[in-house]
């Protein structure tokens, strides 16, 4: 519950300030890329042959 509160607070900060919002979005993209990259390491690339984005991070 405490973690959700922090995320909500960051979300409000991001909405109130354009520069902070851009930084927040870039952080989200980095986090998403990191998770996808880990998926590529954990699973074989062939499982994601239908997804070019997932496949490209496996190369």
Quick one: pLDDT band at residue 48, thresholds 50, 70, 90? low
**Residue 42 pLDDT greater than 60, yes or no:** no
Q: Give the mean model confidence (pLDDT) for residues 36-40.
A: 64
Is residue 48 within 8 Å of residue 41, measured between CB atoms? Answer: no
Cβ(24)–Cβ(10) under 8 Å?
yes
Question: Per-residue pLDDT averaged across 22-41, rounded?
Answer: 70
Answer yes or no: is pLDDT of 57 > 60: no
**What is the rounded distance in angstroms from the CA atom of residue 19 to the CA atom of residue 57?**
29
* Chain mean pLDDT for the chain: 64
pLDDT of residue 8: 75
- Does residue 40 contact residue 57 with C-beta atoms inside 8 Å? yes
């Amino acid at each position: 519950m405490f973690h959700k509160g922090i995320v909500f607070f960051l979300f409000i900060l991001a909405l109130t300030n354009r520069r902070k919002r851009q930084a927040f979005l870039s952080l989200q993209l980095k986090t998403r890329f990191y998770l996808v990259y880990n998926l590529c390491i954990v699973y074989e690339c062939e499982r994601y042959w239908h997804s070019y984005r997932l496949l490209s991070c496996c190369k």
